[in-house]
Structure 1
């Protein structure tokens, strides 16, 4: 009995069968674009910040119309002419009737609007988009490595394996080579001897330890808007660090005139009042570093968020302590919630700091929380 081939290579033109796939790919691309365009608003969405991280998010997306010819109801002739270097999609002529726009704003229009629908994405999908271009800056190798990432690398081709790992290109080449040796032209009659499979190795890459100090001003001058923006930033920062780095540690510090280390739950829910002495927080961080996180073994990143109001006589001490922190840290980040663009006592002192390790971001509205995240955790260009 003649053995039937395991594979049959079809020469049918499948381009006509890919319409559904192309539409799906186009829709997914539009979804990704909509998510990127809405990231500043999504990052500051209160329902996400206050959730347990397992909900879905709705993103508005314009509907996708199929390409089709539109009948000219005005029965007028139109002529368009290119310059000789026209490309697909270039506009050669414009119908004056199409210059009318749909209603927008306070004025009423006479043209139909664009269909917009909401698509749902999970928090994980949102994080993939948000964290893709973020990393811990200036991360250095330390003596004690605990942070590890696993990378799968396909490095070899074998004759035995499972069908899910089959290398189609190598299999077809082997079949083509065998047929050529037998005096046959082309591809066909693929046999088990032609099959080739990819194999891989899991490479574990050690990464240096890192500790992040989340420092939050909880004094009486921090209103609801200031606390929400600060906690929104630290919410996404915590999720970013735990998603991309396995053994990173986060130390939460809350301060008014005094600073204390608190739990994560207290950090995000507890309210305080009183005056503001920011140097107490910086000194507390230095004490914790000395006790638990020697700089020779740890990458250190303090991030302080405040409304900028501080006891004026304390500013000089704050600058001195920040200088000490930058001596043992990879970076110091300061975020100021300044909704009304006022002159703050802290920025009046910090603007003179010229050390490259010092970074700051001014947040004037909720949408700028995203800007602060991408500023502090921007990926460094590879050299």
Structure 2
């Protein structure tokens, strides 16, 4: 019998190669399971792995075994008490039980469904693949970096306000020690000795010192004069001693961001349209989560009225009504003012709608965006979700929706504002091409 043994080593005891081969073989089933998971999980859970279940019948692997038909084989059956030479052995039943069916089977075997856990990177790879994200853009990030002043050592020039007293005095002390500048105590000691000798001379009848004392006095006077001269020539603080604190600007990316999710939930938005909007919001949340340490998500849904809601209400509430888009923009403006100061938060917004709007509301929407929202946002993306059958109609200028006509002039002059139409999941990526690109010019080529 032929045996084939794969002796290739797996890294650190993990079956990485086997796992990758398994995922390639069951890719279609895993992708289907991920799509189902995306429909049921929350937006903030997109950055985690997930457990997927695939049918056991899809896990069959090729293998070597003896053919049931044909060929001559000799068997050695030790301890056989039932058969003798020349007996005919019945062929095994090929219609054994399986994993499915509702009837019992007396023999045969099968396999249940197989469940395993996808890692975070594996889940995101499949999620990105569904959105047709190029590999080169999956890891790139848009640079939204602020700058702050940071200490950068010392400088010999600067303003008095930046003078470093400790470093200046340290340099002064080192210079005075190196040049042997006389200390004040040394000069005072010389003066005391001279005064003592002069008083001694005044007490003598002749008013003069002895020859040794007189020589000593002249030597002390010479030392005192030399010490005072050296003290004057070696200043206590010299300009070469001064040091100033130096500062330079370094990148300081903000560590927190807020994402506003605005969606039209009027009667014209179907469940399929809401599903595409959810995928768009998932991808934007994932980008922000990778870029910033802390991400807040604010959900605003609107009909003819707008309100901030939780995620469950945002996607699954049955409330419906007319369509006035400016109410959602006003609610976003209010939340920004109350909770998210622009000097502490990076602000992103994503709006999903089918393009319908009250006829007299377009000018108000444009004014709110241009004057109040876009100046505070790093990026504002609007996706218009349309039915595939309507895509060709809306592609023409005369077929544009009311909201698209209001937003288009503003997007043409503001690089922070992007408009895209979406008809299926694969169409979501063009909105993110500019957001993920480091250079906007490259994104548009």
> TM-score with structure 1 length normalisation?
0.54
Which residue number in structure 1 is paired with residue 187 of structure 2?
none
- Within the candidate set 302, 305, 315, 1:268 is matched to 315
In structure 2, relative to structure 1, the CA distance for the partners of 1:338 and 1:287 (3 Å cut) is: same
Please tell me whether residue 327 in structure 1 is matched to residue 332 in structure 2: no
RCO greater where, 1 or 2, for CA within 8 Å and sep 6 or more?
1
Which residue number in structure 1 is paired with residue 418 of structure 2?
359
Q: Using the TM superposition, name which of 130-139 and 331-340 deviates more.
A: 130-139
Which residue number in structure 2 is paired with residue 215 of structure 1?
262
**1:146-181 CA-partner distances (Å, limit 9, x unpaired):** xxxxxxxxxxxxxxxxxxxxxxxxxxxxxxxxxxxx
Q: Distance in 1 between matches of 2:123 and 2:317?
A: 26
Which residue number in structure 1 is paired with residue 332 of structure 2?
285
Deviation at 1:210, TM superposition (A): 1.1
- Within the candidate set 345, 355, 361, 2:402 is matched to 345
Please tell me whether residue 233 in structure 1 is matched to residue 283 in structure 2: no
Deviation at 1:208, TM superposition (A): 3.2
Are 2:379 and 2:417, in contact at CA under 8 Å, matched by a contact in 1?
yes
Alpha-carbon RMSD: 4.2
Which residue number in structure 1 is paired with residue 81 of structure 2?
none
Which residue number in structure 2 is paired with residue 86 of structure 1?
none
Q: Distance in 2 between matches of 1:34 and 1:359?
A: 37
Deviation at 1:27, TM superposition (A): 7.5
Alignment of 1:24-63 (within 5 A): 25=17, 28=20, 45-51=35-41, 55-57=50-52
Stretches of structure 2 that go unaligned for 5 or more consecutive residues are: 63-113, 129-136, 149-251
Q: Distance in 1 between matches of 2:293 and 2:350?
A: 20
Deviation at 1:47, TM superposition (A): 3.8
In structure 2, relative to structure 1, the CA distance for the partners of 1:285 and 1:310 (3 Å cut) is: same
Deviation at 1:230, TM superposition (A): 1.0
* Matched positions, count: 254
Are 1:218 and 1:255, in contact at CA under 8 Å, matched by a contact in 2?
yes
Deviation at 1:125, TM superposition (A): 3.2
Alignment of 1:104-253 (within 5 A): 122=118, 124-129=120-125, 133=138, 137-141=142-146, 207-239=254-286, 241-242=288-289, 245-253=292-300
Which residue number in structure 2 is paired with residue 368 of structure 1?
427
Stretches of structure 1 that go unaligned for 5 or more consecutive residues are: 1-15, 66-117, 144-204
Structure with the largest fraction of helix:
2
Are 1:27 and 1:64, in contact at CA under 8 Å, matched by a contact in 2?
no
Q: Distance in 1 between matches of 2:350 and 2:338?
A: 19
Q: Distance in 1 between matches of 2:350 and 2:384?
A: 11
Q: Distance in 2 between matches of 1:291 and 1:347?
A: 29
In structure 2, relative to structure 1, the CA distance for the partners of 1:373 and 1:351 (3 Å cut) is: closer
Which residue number in structure 2 is paired with residue 105 of structure 1?
none
Which is greater in Rg? 2
Are 1:212 and 1:249, in contact at CA under 8 Å, matched by a contact in 2?
yes
In structure 2, relative to structure 1, the CA distance for the partners of 1:32 and 1:368 (3 Å cut) is: farther
Deviation at 1:119, TM superposition (A): 11
Are 2:254 and 2:345, in contact at CA under 8 Å, matched by a contact in 1?
no
In structure 2, relative to structure 1, the CA distance for the partners of 1:59 and 1:126 (3 Å cut) is: farther
Which residue number in structure 1 is paired with residue 341 of structure 2?
294
Q: Distance in 2 between matches of 1:360 and 1:322?
A: 13
| Partner SS, residue 141 of structure 1 | strand
